[in-house]
Amino acid sequence: MAKMAVVQFEASMHKDENLRRITEYILEASGNGADVCTFPEFMMAYTPGTQSDAELAAGAETISGPFVSEVCRAASDSHIEVVGTFYEKSPKSDRVYDTAFLADRSGTVRSVYRKIHLYDALGFRESDKLEPGDFIASPVRTGAGMTGMMICYDLRFPEMSRTLAEAGAHTLVAPSAWVAGERKVGHWITMNRARAMENGCFVVAPAHTGNIYCGRSLVVDPFGDILLDMGEGEGIGYADVDVGVVEQTRERLPLLRNRRLDIYPDMSGPVR
């Protein structure tokens, strides 16, 4: 059993200010007995539409840079695992990666995932500023069992969560900044519940609130029940994640085992 801390907050444009708040949240989560502390997408800084690609790239860092290093130090000091996000430098001078990382209790980065599905939809074009990643990071063992990472728009692509479940994930952590808008909250809740139910796993989705985002950080259990819904306010929520519940659910509802993999490859051609 792992106690998950889910941080929901509104980032400013100033990463030093955000970093101060992030380290305070890590300390608070640890003090409340959490095993893992998770943060939303764009926790490093809010990027308004008026900010140019060059301006965003100028503030990006490497995984060994001061921003991630300070988060890792806080994880080590508080003896807690942390899933966070940052803008990572890419080989292109005018593009950055939207990157999630997982730091263990010693402050060591155990996993790095660069968002592969960029939000070029519904009037937005993340590809104007971001560079897509080119791999899905393998799940790693945490207090919440084998844990895989996704980011926001990835939730709309069931192939990704299924890939992580096939690789052994018990828990999917999806840092997000879900843009508010017509029917968007309904989409958000549905996507998180669907990814949990179809894979028989926990989904932990810390969400950015304020700015242009809707908040509503969620934790969903393997049967699709919502264990935590944080609404729109800032703060920390907590939920328990139990690998035993994953195993029990997958035994009762064996979706992964019941797939017809002998048939699916025959569908590689045009669907009639």
Which residues, in sequence order, are CB contacts of 162 under 8 Å at separation 6+?
A: 198, 199
Told to judge if 129 belongs to the known catalytic residues of this protein, a careful annotator would answer: no
Told to judge if 115 belongs to the known catalytic residues of this protein, a careful annotator would answer: yes
**Set 37, 72, 152, 201: catalytic member:** 152
Which residues, in sequence order, are CB contacts of 119 under 8 Å at separation 6+?
A: 125, 126, 152, 153, 179
Told to judge if 152 belongs to the known catalytic residues of this protein, a careful annotator would answer: yes
Q: Per DSSP, what are the bridge partners of residue 97?
A: 88
Nearest alpha-carbon partner for 139 in 99, 106, 115, 110: 110
**Set 115, 126, 131, 214: catalytic member:** 115
Tokens of 240: 């328990």
Give me the phi and psi of 213, to 5 degrees please: -110, 160
> 265 burial class (0-12, 13-18, 19+ CB within 10 angstroms)?
exposed
With both helix axes pointing from N to C terminus, report the angle between 15-31 and 66-78 in degrees, rounded to the nearest 10: 10
Q: Tell me the Ramachandran region of residue 261: left when phi exceeds 0, alpha when psi lies from -120 to 50, beta otherwise.
A: alpha
Alpha-carbon span 186 to 272, nearest angstrom: 32
**Set 41, 81, 88, 131: catalytic member:** 41
Annotated catalytic sites, by residue? 41, 115, 152
